[in-house]
Amino acid sequence: MVQAYRRGYRRIVPAETPQVFGYHPEAQVYVEMRPQDFLLALGPIGRRMDEGGEFYVSSDSMEHLKKRIEEEEEIDVLFLDYDPYQDRAVGHEGRHRALAAMESGIERVPVVIYFYDPHGWHDKVDELGHVYDQTHYVSLDELGEARVNEILASLSARRVY
């Protein structure tokens, strides 16, 4: 599943992270996205403060990440918690990595998208109205292939098989 994402000689080498790929595998899709699309999906927190957003960028952190990309060191994949009922990202990890990839000329980055319901709207309720399944992760089976593909298309994300 892990592969390099290149542009010329530069690439992101995703770290093999079983804690990511093994965490709620029933509710995740491994994709590649343009770093710009990843940041756009986050709304204001995906835009730098100097561009009117809410994202502080440390120049030291950016230089360190860009050096790691150039030296082809392993870097953790990015991830989104995506609420399929509200059609928006509700959590994330990887803004600095996305920005460093963009500034390094990387065209696509590896992303794990988790389908997540922060409100518990899909919780299962018994005949008395008591919730008996409070997982907030929404399985791919529950969403269905067509809905998953619709969401991925809206994020400009491509599955990595």
What is the distance between the alpha carbons of residues 29 and 160, in angstroms, rounded to a whole number? 8
Could you say which DSSP state residue 28 is in?
Answer: E
Asked if residue 97 lies in contact with residue 41, where contact means CB atoms within 8 angstroms, the answer is no
Say if residue 144's pLDDT is above 80.
yes
Task: Say what the pLDDT of residue 122 is.
Answer: 62
pTM of the predicted model, to two decimals?
0.80
Say if residue 81's pLDDT is above 50.
yes
Average pLDDT over residues 35-55: 80
Task: Say what the pLDDT of residue 160 is.
Answer: 87
5, β-bridge pairs: 12
**Percent of the chain at pLDDT exceeding 90:** 47
Extract the tokens encoding 152: 């991925």
Among the ranges given (32-46, 48-62, 70-84, 146-160), the one the predictor scored with the smallest mean pLDDT: 48-62
Local structure of 92: helix, strand or coil: strand
Task: Say what the pLDDT of residue 53 is.
Answer: 65
Report CA 111 to chain centroid distance, whole Å.
4
Q: What single-letter amino acid sits at 113?
A: I
The residue ranges of every structural domain in the chain are 5-159
Alpha helical stretches, state H, the chain: 18-21, 35-41, 59-70, 95-103, 140-143, 145-154
Asked if residue 118 lies in contact with residue 80, where contact means CB atoms within 8 angstroms, the answer is no
